[in-house]
Chain A
């Protein structure tokens, strides 16, 4: 449930020119890895926890957004913007307490940004995610920070929600089509501050497309992707409403070792903040530590960030302030000990800034 884009879109509910995400959608791959220009909003989210040979941990986030513009006019110019392509790229280096992030904002234009239909190929300047034979090539670099990774899916894509939709609001169409590659074996190179390392680890890919997802009164959300050492993965999100209540459309998916997804509704899990960090930049107070309880699975998980400050203030692309960072998981899972890593996203805590 990747969010950052809502800065551009939050106030609108219905888009006559675009398709709504309705139940009954049949996913098909690799077609649905590609772009869906008849939906207004789309993103490809890559996050991962990596280690170098010496066991030093890193986190990365590389996200490509596409957002269709209202009343876009078709003209012969290939620069005529029909979609905008924001993109975010971040690296977490907990050992040195470093967190760097970059952003881009472009439109579909020759050589600059775009996304293919029919297969996974999305790029923004020199940031690229491309499905190749046997895996996904991921590349991004800026100002001495770079990833050049090879991602091999260990499970098939898992579709979230029910009947092809992940419902986010009370009305039909307030939903998205949402699937994940919850476990991608990752290897490659990571650069930061002039140093470079060979790295390996696990990545997570989310691909979500919709036309109008959110509803008035929803102020933010907390989203978790967890990869447990036992081979199971877990996606959870809760939508927060004004006044601190939790929206009943909050949901989760448990992905089995073989890749089957099981939908959990909001009544089947509990989320509880366990520690806070206050951003010196935005002033936002983020619950960076959490306790997750899923009674049905005998799960009692503790989540803590690899470092506190993994906040992005994306003034020049989406205009959203959010926290997106690498986390580690401990606790109990199905009666045994739980250990794992993952990514946490929190929005609606810091002040939002206007786009551009």
Chain B
């Protein structure tokens, strides 16, 4: 009880008595925690909602029979007659369609009659889910190919009602549909945030041109039947082209696909938390130093050392806790912005789906984790200050005049530790990926940060000492500032370190992104050489469904002005547990006109010619790196009549997707898969042909086919635009880290000034005017800013190397050519410096407004 009272009188009153500082600390932690929470939320909403959606659509099936990139013959159901004895079956056709508003959504062709046991919209509560579906509507869905079902939310967005007609664009064809039913956003209809269209399987076969084939057969084994036996028999009896999966394998694939992205985003958010935690440490550190004498007095009055440490730890934990709670609110706001950014990134990089974020219930466990983490990190950051505050015998403390012994410390032990940490950072940077994640890379980043933080005070002395020798050339305010920074380095170093870390993240990430962008730009310049690019109008991003038909290709190639067509068809398969794209490309055209960049530097024409008519493929770099595939290796590629071995001829650079691409000659592809359409076409024009006129002619010649035709430049700028969108989240994270660090500077300087108010008063006694005091404080914050920024830039350079050569390569499999975005970085750093000066404004005001007589008297 007494300790509670003491805590209240001693700690709480102090906190509430210094509201600005308390607020700044809490705000810093809140921002750091807010970022973690926001990234978690947006991860959840856009990434997890994708995997959840996959799960929702998998439904309750025990197994899925799939063709692995090859459609299943619907007659397979006849062969599977035995399965009815022990299981229910539900066939599906899947695809993508473009809606009237231009968004691309998944479309599921389901057997409305066999769905009930599998997915919940038609289950026992079906009458509620399909509330406004009359028997006539239902029968019409079955008997007519132009009926569709929409989740109500999507219908609301599209402003269509039940009974309205709407157009769906699939591939190059569009068809008219009537909205037969609206669904509650429950179960499968809640997948992808309700952005999904359901058709009866017959309508889907027609719309998606999948007559006679199925994409999937879901199997639900009867209660009491032997699941494993069913699985074994399926594995034994299924034809070569079909394979059976457990739903968890399927979700695991999509998880695996998104894991690296998700991990890296979270890792970055935790790094910005570090900056916030340093802030708590800082506040505590300052508080205990300031209150050393009081602490000593308390102890002479009978408080044990442990009790004093305990009180400060509770204070620290409390600050962390408050910060975390506020962080939940801040994060909720940030999440709104982060979500759409993350969602767009996931869409462009991975899913190719315009999935509006799904509404998710408040994540209590993770909120609990955030709050707990806040308290824990707060308490942890308080340990050292609290122990130090009570380390010296109280009598000794009480005898001294000014507070801190101001011998200039040389930080020997710290410096040695720092050097060791840096060495360790160097070693860990060489570590291999762990389960596909760059864990060692991040360990190295943390070690480097720790190393730099430990080295910071000693390193800061170098320029400070040098400056001190130049004192004759500096204005007095600068000299005063310099002296106080040098003397107070042990305290200021925390602010310097937090700024350093924030700046280092900014520099590191900006350098990585800049290099990435430059690499992509150069790659686009070199490989995007056709004049025009054609896709089916109904194709979404990264989407191999519904190709341009062969007859349309025919028509395109006959267009006057067209010299050559490079048709390309890709399908999604699973290879080595990863989703990859298997494609057929026109290597004849590539050899003559196109260009790929091969890792081993070989000539495009040479490699392309080696592939024509052969069982050989080229693979993209991300696939090669992730699955350890090298030129000369043999890949077993799934085909309708069983796997076919293909030799890897070469690995080529590709930055379009980290999914991984395997490309074979189109002729071989056509033989194996019977596919003569194209998901994308590069068009080479005859010399002198006008791209715009040729485009018009192509569109006119394509008849009913709806095509998108991009001129080279437009595709290129679109690609870079997508790239830039992709990294907006990362930038946002870094900016927040810098804001936290700047708050830290304000906080530290403000606190130090309060502590040094005696000094300031003295300066006034000695003839200083207020302008001088203000300038002095601004110089101090400028010095701190410069030190932090310079150190941050150095650390950032190391992080950039890590990000480019280790983290990015191990996570996504891309080789980046380092390229410093000098202008961007320069501007960013200038902005950081400016904001550190702004950070000094409040303390400067504080300095100029103290009452010297009182200040000196209370000393």
A residues in contact (CB < 8 Å) with B: 8, 69-73, 75-82, 84, 105-107, 109-112, 125-126, 141-144, 316, 354-356
Nearest chain-B residue to A81 (Cβ)? B142
Kindly identify which residue among B77, B138, B223 contacts A112, using a CB–CB cutoff of 8 Å.
B77
A106 near B113: Cβ-Cβ < 8 Å: yes
Q: Given the known inter-chain contacts A75-B145, A81-B202, A126-B84, please indicate yes or no for A70 contacting B139, CB distance below 8 A.
A: yes
Min CB–CB distance B803 → chain A (angstroms): 51
B116 near A110: Cβ-Cβ < 8 Å: no
Min CB–CB distance A315 → chain B (angstroms): 9
A356 near B206: Cβ-Cβ < 8 Å: no
A79 to B212, CA, bound (A): 9
By a CB distance below 8 angstroms, the chain B residues around A71 are 140, 143-144
Q: Given the known inter-chain contacts A79-B201, A356-B135, please indicate yes or no for A84 contacting B222, CB distance below 8 A.
A: no
Kindly identify which residue among B76, B135, B138, B143 contacts A73, using a CB–CB cutoff of 8 Å.
B143
**Is B211 located at the chain interface by the 8 A CB criterion?**
yes
Q: Given the known inter-chain contacts A73-B144, A106-B114, A111-B77, please indicate yes or no for A143 contacting B222, CB distance below 8 A.
A: yes
By a CB distance below 8 angstroms, the chain A residues around B143 are 69-73, 80-82
B81 near A79: Cβ-Cβ < 8 Å: no
Kindly identify which residue among A8, A109, A126 contacts B135, using a CB–CB cutoff of 8 Å.
A8
By a CB distance below 8 angstroms, the chain A residues around B77 are 109-112
Nearest chain-A residue to B222 (Cβ)? A143
Min CB–CB distance B95 → chain A (angstroms): 14
Nearest chain-B residue to A68 (Cβ)? B143
A69 to B200, CA, bound (A): 15
A110 to B202, CA, bound (A): 12
Nearest chain-A residue to B144 (Cβ)? A73
A110 near B139: Cβ-Cβ < 8 Å: no
By a CB distance below 8 angstroms, the chain A residues around B140 are 71
Q: Given the known inter-chain contacts A71-B144, A144-B224, A356-B126, please indicate yes or no for A79 contacting B111, CB distance below 8 A.
A: yes
Contact mask for chain B residues 136-154; partner A; CB cutoff 8 A; 1 contact, 0 none: 0011101111000000000
B111 near A109: Cβ-Cβ < 8 Å: yes
B142 near A69: Cβ-Cβ < 8 Å: yes
Given contacts A82-B143, A112-B77, A354-B135, 8 further A-B pairs with CB under 8 A are A69-B139, A70-B139, A72-B144, A77-B201, A77-B202, A80-B202, A81-B143, A84-B113
**Is B600 located at the chain interface by the 8 A CB criterion?**
no
CB under 8 Å from chain A, chain B span 220-252: 222-224
By a CB distance below 8 angstroms, the chain B residues around A142 are 222
**Is B511 located at the chain interface by the 8 A CB criterion?**
no
CB under 8 Å from chain A, chain B span 141-184: 142-145
B138 near A126: Cβ-Cβ < 8 Å: no
A110 to B80, CA, bound (A): 11
By a CB distance below 8 angstroms, the chain B residues around A73 are 143-145
7 closest residue pairs by CB, A with B: A111-B77, A126-B84, A81-B142, A111-B78, A79-B202, A80-B202, A69-B143
Interface centre among B75, B127, B138, B142 (most CB of A within 10 A): B142
By a CB distance below 8 angstroms, the chain A residues around B142 are 69, 81, 84, 107
Interface centre among B113, B138, B140, B200 (most CB of A within 10 A): B113
A112 near B205: Cβ-Cβ < 8 Å: no
**Is B759 located at the chain interface by the 8 A CB criterion?**
no
B residues in contact (CB < 8 Å) with A: 74-81, 84-85, 89, 111, 113-114, 116, 126-127, 135, 138-140, 142-145, 200-203, 205-206, 211-212, 222-224
A75 near B74: Cβ-Cβ < 8 Å: no
A107 to B77, CA, bound (A): 14
By a CB distance below 8 angstroms, the chain B residues around A72 are 143-144
Q: Given the known inter-chain contacts A81-B142, A356-B138, please indicate yes or no for A110 contacting B81, CB distance below 8 A.
A: no
Q: Given the known inter-chain contacts A110-B75, A111-B81, A144-B224, please indicate yes or no for A77 contacting B113, CB distance below 8 A.
A: no
By a CB distance below 8 angstroms, the chain A residues around B78 are 110-111
Interface centre among A110, A141, A355 (most CB of B within 10 A): A110
A323 to B114, CA, bound (A): 26
Q: Given the known inter-chain contacts A79-B202, A110-B75, please indicate yes or no for A143 contacting B223, CB distance below 8 A.
A: yes
Nearest chain-B residue to A79 (Cβ)? B202
A69 to B144, CA, bound (A): 10
By a CB distance below 8 angstroms, the chain A residues around B222 are 142-143
A76 near B206: Cβ-Cβ < 8 Å: yes
B85 near A80: Cβ-Cβ < 8 Å: no
Min CB–CB distance A18 → chain B (angstroms): 14
Min CB–CB distance B602 → chain A (angstroms): 46
A77 near B205: Cβ-Cβ < 8 Å: yes
B145 near A77: Cβ-Cβ < 8 Å: yes
A72 to B84, CA, bound (A): 27
Q: Given the known inter-chain contacts A69-B142, A82-B143, please indicate yes or no for A316 contacting B116, CB distance below 8 A.
A: yes
B85 near A141: Cβ-Cβ < 8 Å: yes
Interface centre among A72, A79, A126, A316 (most CB of B within 10 A): A79
A70 to B76, CA, bound (A): 29
By a CB distance below 8 angstroms, the chain B residues around A125 are 84
* 16 interchain pairs, CB-CB under 8 A: A72-B143, A72-B144, A75-B202, A77-B206, A78-B202, A79-B201, A81-B202, A111-B75, A112-B77, A126-B85, A141-B85, A143-B223, A316-B116, A354-B127, A356-B135, A356-B138
A78 to B81, CA, bound (A): 17
By a CB distance below 8 angstroms, the chain B residues around A78 are 74, 202, 212
Min CB–CB distance A35 → chain B (angstroms): 17
A76 to B211, CA, bound (A): 7
A105 near B205: Cβ-Cβ < 8 Å: no
A79 near B116: Cβ-Cβ < 8 Å: no
Min CB–CB distance A244 → chain B (angstroms): 28
Nearest chain-B residue to A355 (Cβ)? B135
Min CB–CB distance A125 → chain B (angstroms): 4
B139 near A80: Cβ-Cβ < 8 Å: no
Nearest chain-B residue to A194 (Cβ)? B224
By a CB distance below 8 angstroms, the chain B residues around A355 are 135, 138
Min CB–CB distance B91 → chain A (angstroms): 8
By a CB distance below 8 angstroms, the chain B residues around A107 are 111, 113, 142
Min CB–CB distance A115 → chain B (angstroms): 15
A70 to B142, CA, bound (A): 10
A141 to B85, CA, bound (A): 7
Min CB–CB distance B482 → chain A (angstroms): 83
A84 to B135, CA, bound (A): 13
A338 to B84, CA, bound (A): 43
Nearest chain-B residue to A111 (Cβ)? B77
By a CB distance below 8 angstroms, the chain A residues around B127 are 354
By a CB distance below 8 angstroms, the chain B residues around A106 are 113-114
By a CB distance below 8 angstroms, the chain A residues around B224 are 143-144
A69 to B137, CA, bound (A): 12
Min CB–CB distance B792 → chain A (angstroms): 63
A356 to B130, CA, bound (A): 10
Min CB–CB distance A147 → chain B (angstroms): 13
By a CB distance below 8 angstroms, the chain B residues around A141 are 85
Min CB–CB distance B75 → chain A (angstroms): 6
Min CB–CB distance A173 → chain B (angstroms): 22
B138 near A79: Cβ-Cβ < 8 Å: no
Interface centre among A72, A77, A144, A316 (most CB of B within 10 A): A77
By a CB distance below 8 angstroms, the chain A residues around B223 are 143
Min CB–CB distance A190 → chain B (angstroms): 16
A332 to B89, CA, bound (A): 51
By a CB distance below 8 angstroms, the chain A residues around B74 are 78-79, 109-111
Min CB–CB distance B84 → chain A (angstroms): 3
Kindly identify which residue among B75, B80, B89, B200 contacts A79, using a CB–CB cutoff of 8 Å.
B200
By a CB distance below 8 angstroms, the chain A residues around B111 are 79, 107, 109, 112
Kindly identify which residue among A69, A105, A126, A354 contacts B81, using a CB–CB cutoff of 8 Å.
A126
A111 to B75, CA, bound (A): 7
